[in-house]
Structure 1
Amino acid sequence: MNIANPSAARRASPIAAHLQAVIFDWAGTIVDFGSFAPTQVLVEAFAGFDIALTLDEARGPMGVGKWQHIEALAGDPAIAPRWQKRFGRAVCAEDVDTLYQAFMPLQIARVGHYSWPVPGALDMVERLRAAGLRIGSCSGYPRQVMNALLPLAEERGYTPDTAIAADDLAAGGRPGPWMALATVLELGIDDVAACVKVDDSTPGIEEGLRAGMWTVGLSASGNEVGLTFEEWQALSASEQLARTAPAEQKLRDAGAHYVIDTVADLWPVLQDIAWRRSCGERP
């Protein structure tokens, strides 16, 4: 089916009659095209301990909570030997705590530098609200970072109805379903299948699936491609396709029901989901 140009039957299906909420990730989804705020700061945090980390390496475990992200990086077979060489021992949980404590003030200070809305995101959110949908959000960012990000996002035009941080819940964060389900509770949604989870990372897609929601992966604006919007625009159509194809495959392998470039392309997908819901389908 051509989601970019759905049939008249699909277009005619009223979205608000079948969907109640869209739950967005933050970096790489709604703000921060290319997802630079978390990754660049991780490079800087490791550099503070004389551990060289490339931006691509920092991107590896994206989507999980930041403590878990740092733990995964420190234990990576390619990175762990650098810690061993620098400190003469293997990395331990206390080291992860120390790295996390160094990361946090840097992330709080720098998150606003990168977190401008993805082009088309604000228009899409406005369109969703006009259609009667609620706007939820959850993130791999911890609460301290979210508290710094939320007022900046509001100044720049984005205020979701709710925002759940990775460390808000005792059960944990992604890829578990808990942040998505907490969003359902806060918004008062009565059917998880009437929710759509939108994310650029595979843990975020898994989160939505485990919560029983429709899932939409973003292949161009997120962590996998890892370009600024200006760098993305400078590519030819064939170059863009070459960059998004692996990202799309990774998101589809994670179980995404749909994969699009950015949130600006979301509306026809929601039309299609509404039509499928009208036919009795569930995620």
Structure 2
Amino acid sequence: MNKVAGVIFDWAGTTVDFGCFAPVNVFVKIFKTVGINVTIAEARLPMGILKRDHLKVMLEMPRISKKWQEQYGRCFNEYDIDELYLKFESMLLLSLEEYTQLLPGVIETVSKLRKNGLKIGSTTGYTDTMLNIVRQGAKTQGYEPDFWITPDSINGMGRPNPYMIFRNMEALKLTAPWQVVKIGDTEADIKEGLNAGVWSVGVAVGSSQMGLSYDEFIGLSDSEQKSFIRKTEQTFLNYGANFTIATMEEIPELLKNINTLLAKGKRPYALSN
């Protein structure tokens, strides 16, 4: 039958680490070690891509690039990126275990999907070493996807390239991209899904895009929460997302809607047809 057969999740900011703070905090700290103060917003902007690439994008930001030149009297180079990345990796690995808490609704939602016969895949911007820490933390809480992959296995060709999704499809025997849903919390996630030709979905609450911790979010009034959710979902739509959801709990209903579209011959890259 022409129905959704698999869901591919991101990790940090989607299934674990509410607000995606593990890498953000380290990016800020790493730049401080070289005498440059970066903002949380600057650290979040490239979120979801390979971490070395993330550092390069940050260094290319006009304000940060100017600060680097003022600090060192020259433009940054590849050696500088490598040095920053080595510091980043070692610091992140020391703290990553503290950021593996599952987001609300993950266990219940994944259980429902599996009961309906769906395969569960995953992609990430983490390396194998980083993700192994996250996976083990998630596993102890009851979450383990059927397949996982990092940019290490695709020659560093991570998001927004579609190759990690394609490897998920191969491993999970998902034969048609329109029967696959990718769910994530960053621009890189959305574009990864779009480039793979699957249904690309942004999840708002707990996302890096929203940028709030769990305590910050639950401390908001209902109207404030709804405002943050609307703003975040609109940003995902601006990135090109096919759909947005507020929380993981909305996924089963979303899949019903997608199955209705599939029954009508609709495809994620041709919704107007």
**Is TM (by shorter chain) over 0.5?**
yes
Counterpart Cα distance in 1 of 2:150 and 2:209: 22
Q: 12, 15, 33: which is aligned to 1:48? A: 33
Give the CA deviation at 1:220: 2.3
Taking the TM superposition and a 5 Å limit, the aligned residue runs for 1:53-64 are 53-64=38-49
Counterpart Cα distance in 2 of 1:262 and 1:57: 25
The reply to whether residue 257 of structure 1 matches residue 257 of structure 2 is no
Counterpart Cα distance in 1 of 2:156 and 2:124: 15
Counterpart Cα distance in 2 of 1:211 and 1:171: 17
Q: Using the aligned pairs only, state the percent identity.
A: 36
The reply to whether residue 277 of structure 1 matches residue 246 of structure 2 is no
In structure 2, the residue matched to 1:110 is: 95
Counterpart Cα distance in 2 of 1:42 and 1:171: 20
SS at match of 2:143: coil
Q: 176, 183, 190: which is aligned to 2:161? A: 176
TM-score (ref. length: structure 1): 0.91
Amino acid in structure 2 at the alignment position of 1:237: D
Amino acid in structure 2 at the alignment position of 1:271: K
In structure 1, the residue matched to 2:15 is: 30
In structure 2, the residue matched to 1:231 is: 216
Give the CA deviation at 1:171: 6.4
The reply to whether residue 153 of structure 1 matches residue 138 of structure 2 is yes
Give the CA deviation at 1:43: 1.0
Counterpart Cα distance in 1 of 2:242 and 2:60: 32
The answer to whether the Cα contact below 8 Å between 2:2 and 2:179 also exists between their aligned partners in 1 is no
Counterpart Cα distance in 1 of 2:63 and 2:245: 32
In structure 1, the residue matched to 2:271 is: none
Give the CA deviation at 1:170: 2.1
Q: 45, 70, 74: which is aligned to 1:89? A: 74
1:92-122 Cα offsets, whole Å, 9 max, x none, are 1110111011100111121221221000111
Give the CA deviation at 1:85: 2.1
Amino acid in structure 1 at the alignment position of 2:152: D
The answer to whether the Cα contact below 8 Å between 1:200 and 1:217 also exists between their aligned partners in 2 is yes
Counterpart Cα distance in 1 of 2:94 and 2:107: 24
The answer to whether the Cα contact below 8 Å between 1:198 and 1:216 also exists between their aligned partners in 2 is yes
Runs of 4+ in 1 over 4 A off after TM superposition: none
The answer to whether the Cα contact below 8 Å between 1:37 and 1:115 also exists between their aligned partners in 2 is no
The answer to whether the Cα contact below 8 Å between 1:199 and 1:205 also exists between their aligned partners in 2 is yes
Counterpart Cα distance in 2 of 1:139 and 1:111: 14
Counterpart Cα distance in 2 of 1:85 and 1:208: 39
SS at match of 1:22: strand
SS at match of 1:161: coil
Q: 199, 210, 216: which is aligned to 2:184? A: 199
Give the CA deviation at 1:17: 6.1
Q: 51, 59, 62: which is aligned to 1:66? A: 51
SS at match of 1:79: helix
SS at match of 2:154: coil
The answer to whether the Cα contact below 8 Å between 2:48 and 2:187 also exists between their aligned partners in 1 is yes
SS at match of 2:49: coil
SS at match of 2:63: coil
Report which stretch shifted further, 23-32 or 271-280.
271-280
1:125-152 Cα offsets, whole Å, 9 max, x none, are 1111111101000001112211222111
Counterpart Cα distance in 2 of 1:253 and 1:109: 35
The reply to whether residue 126 of structure 1 matches residue 120 of structure 2 is no
Q: 12, 21, 29: which is aligned to 2:6? A: 21
In structure 2, the residue matched to 1:140 is: 125
Counterpart Cα distance in 1 of 2:227 and 2:3: 35
TM-score (ref. length: structure 2): 0.94
Unaligned runs of 5+ in 1: 1-15
- Size of the aligned set, in residue pairs, is 268
Amino acid in structure 1 at the alignment position of 2:4: L
Q: 208, 220, 225: which is aligned to 1:240? A: 225
